[in-house]
């Protein structure tokens, strides 16, 4: 299956997705998404014409940067296998929200101190040592002036009503089995309507 068949739009937001998407409505085409909550992560929008599934990416159980070129190609193919559903348009959204640097560093220091105590008691724990090294690297970058941010990735599937809810509810299981990716259903109706309107503006 060609990568071109997966209509993916990557949008980066500087504030919470809900606020930015809502602001975008004032300057663009208006639409009445009128979403209704059906099941966790599943909404019926646009006067009942379309189904929309929303999932927040909680975790990816692999280091994508460590993949070889061939493994990366296979990973992309599995993404297509999971998220390409006939009759649906898939959109990946990234919400980037700056956080208070002082609070973040304080929390980081507390966590680092705890892990250092654990490492002192279990010096052969390779996983724990790697975690401590990562925390130290993050702390170093922040002290060099890099602003920390809270990042949330959301997958939106806008589908013809005929697709049905069962296929959309299978996405979470398929992502976990094929991609080692944990997806959490989004249940916030306001956020769902904002994303539905955003998707409409990109592809009316």
Q: What is the DSSP string of 1-49?
A: --GGGS---EEEESS-HHHHHHHHHHHS-------EEEETTEEEETTTT
Same domain, 18 and 70: yes
**Average pLDDT, stretch 152-168?**
91
**Average pLDDT, stretch 47-74?**
85
Same domain, 179 and 81: yes
- Domain hosting 75: range is 3-99+148-202
pLDDT of residue 60: 81
- Would you say residue 29 has pLDDT above 70? no
Same domain, 33 and 66: yes
Query: pLDDT category, 32, cuts 50, 70, 90?
Result: low
Same domain, 137 and 52: no
Q: Which two tokens stand for residue 83?
A: 């998220």
pLDDT of residue 33: 63
pLDDT of residue 41: 93
Same domain, 93 and 107: no
pLDDT of residue 24: 40
- Would you say residue 203 has pLDDT above 70? no
- pTM, two decimals, is 0.64
Q: How many residues does the chain have?
A: 204
Same domain, 87 and 178: yes
Instruction: Please indicate whether residue 34 or residue 4 has the higher confidence score (pLDDT).
Output: 34
Same domain, 89 and 134: no
pLDDT of residue 180: 87
Same domain, 162 and 84: yes
Torsion region of 40: left, alpha or beta (phi above 0 gives left; psi -120 to 50 gives alpha): beta
- How much is the mean pLDDT over the chain? 80
């Amino acid at each position: 299956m060609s990568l071109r068949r997966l209509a993916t739009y990557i949008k980066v937001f500087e504030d919470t997705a809900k606020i930015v998407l809502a602001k975008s409505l004032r300057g663009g085409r208006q639409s009445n998404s009128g979403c209704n909550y059906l099941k966790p992560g599943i909404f019926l929008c646009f006067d009942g014409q379309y189904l929309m599934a929303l999932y927040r990416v909680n975790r990816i159980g692999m280091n994508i940067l460590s993949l070889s070129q061939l493994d990366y190609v296979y990973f992309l193919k599995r993404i297509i296998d999971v998220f390409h559903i006939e009759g649906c348009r898939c959109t990946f959204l990234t919400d980037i929200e700056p956080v208070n640097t002082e609070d973040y560093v304080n929390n980081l220091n507390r966590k680092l101190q705890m892990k250092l105590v654990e490492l002192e008691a279990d010096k052969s724990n390779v996983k724990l040592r790697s975690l401590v090294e990562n925390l130290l690297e993050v702390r170093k970058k922040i002290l060099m002036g890099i602003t920390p941010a809270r990042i949330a990735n959301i997958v939106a599937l806008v589908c013809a009503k005929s697709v049905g809810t069962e296929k959309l509810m299978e996405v979470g299981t398929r992502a976990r089995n094929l991609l080692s990716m944990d997806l959490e259903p989004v249940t916030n109706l306001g956020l769902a309507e904002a994303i539905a309107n955003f998707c409409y503006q990109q592809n009316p």
